[in-house]
Structure 1
Amino acid sequence: MIKKLGEVIKIKSGVFAKGGANPDLFYIQSTDFDKQRYWNKTLNPILSNTTKFTSHILNVGDVLFASKGRDFFAVVYDGKFQPAVASTTFLVLQMQSENVTSDYIAWYLNHPQTQSLLWSFAKGSAIPSISKTILEQIEISIPQISKQMAILEVSKLQVIEKRIHKQIGKLRQEYINELTYKSIQ
């Protein structure tokens, strides 16, 4: 089944904020993730949790879509740092359908073909961005949940395979370096 993203998710903007006294609220920014979309450091709360942030507090399973900058990407908020709000770099996608998982939405948005499509709609040359309106219009194929889970498993295995190939390449290089060095002694 093909739907527009806006039919299966609710999109909210991230919030602009500056640090406060007695911080107890995490402020998630795109720099908090590495190239593999993992947390790249331990975060500390930098905002004070006031009522102005109540409607912006992230829920586990929300998809954070980096809609500004040179790298559009999606990650599923895992709740590692709670409570938290997303910066304005992100659009926050909340599931409105039981027929699609957050992980599948993130996978779909990170897929090379979707990335190409997103870049074709990007506005701005200094800081490219994707608007909420554009994101809502992106079409997504939504298979059965079982197929979504299978796709995600294959994707996870692909990441593991890449990591193993990288390790093999490093070990091969070390072996060749050692072998060639011993040949001149």
Structure 2
Amino acid sequence: MIEKLNNIVKIKSGVFAKSDANPDLHYIQSTDFNKQRNWNKTLNPILANSSKFSSHILNAGDILFVAKGRDFFAVVYDGMFKPAVASTTFLVLQVQDKSCVPEYLAWYLNHPQTQTLLWSLAKGSAIPSISKSIIEQIEIPIPELSKQITILELHKLQMKEKRIHKQIGKLRQEYINELTYKSIQ
């Protein structure tokens, strides 16, 4: 089954805010993620929670889609830092259709073929962006849940394999460096 994104998710914009005294609310920004799209640091609250943020509080399973900048990507908010709101760099996608796993949707949005499509639809040259109206029209194949889970498991194994290859390369380099250094002593 293929669905337009706006048929399976509710899309909200992130909020613009400045840091406050006595903060108790996390403000998630794209700089809080490393190149592997993992949290790159411990996030500290910088906003004071108030009623103006109530409709923007993130829930576990919300997808944070970076829609502005040089790297469009999606991550699933796991609730690690809460309460939290997303900055205006993000579009927040809340899956409404139980036949779609949020992690699958994030995987699909991060897939190289989808990324090529997103870049072809991006507007602006100084700061490229994907508008809410554009992303709503993206068509998403929604396989049955078991296939979504299988795809996600395969993706996790692929990421693990990349990490292992990187570690092997580093160890090989250290070994050769040590071996060549010892050969001249």
| Match in the other structure for 1:4 | 4
Query: Does structure 1 residue 74 correspond to structure 2 residue 45?
Result: no
Alignment of 1:42-61 (within 5 A): 42-61=42-61
Query: What is the Cα deviation at residue 45 of structure 1?
Result: 0.7
Instruction: Determine helix, strand or coil for the equivalent of 1:60.
Output: coil
Query: What is the Cα deviation at residue 181 of structure 1?
Result: 1.7
Could you list the per-position Cα deviations for residues 83-122 of structure 1 after superposition, in whole angstroms to 9, with x for gaps in the alignment? 0000000000001100001000100000000000000000
- Gap runs ≥5 in structure 1: none
User: 2:104 corresponds to which letter in structure 1?
Assistant: Y
| Match in the other structure for 2:89 | 89
| Match in the other structure for 1:142 | 142
| Match in the other structure for 1:170 | 170
Partners of 1:75 and 1:99 in 2: how far apart? 19
| Match in the other structure for 2:15 | 15
Count of residues in correspondence between the two structures: 185
Query: What is the Cα deviation at residue 183 of structure 1?
Result: 1.9
Q: CA RMSD in A?
A: 0.7
Over the matched positions of the two proteins, sequence identity in percent amounts to 77
User: 1:62 corresponds to which letter in structure 2?
Assistant: D
Instruction: Determine helix, strand or coil for the equivalent of 2:42.
Output: coil
Could you list the per-position Cα deviations for residues 7-47 of structure 1 after superposition, in whole angstroms to 9, with x for gaps in the alignment? 10010000001111211111000000111111111111111
Query: Does structure 1 residue 182 correspond to structure 2 residue 182?
Result: yes
Partners of 1:22 and 1:177 in 2: how far apart? 51
More deviation, 20-29/60-69: 20-29
User: 2:137 corresponds to which letter in structure 1?
Assistant: Q
Partners of 1:17 and 1:182 in 2: how far apart? 57
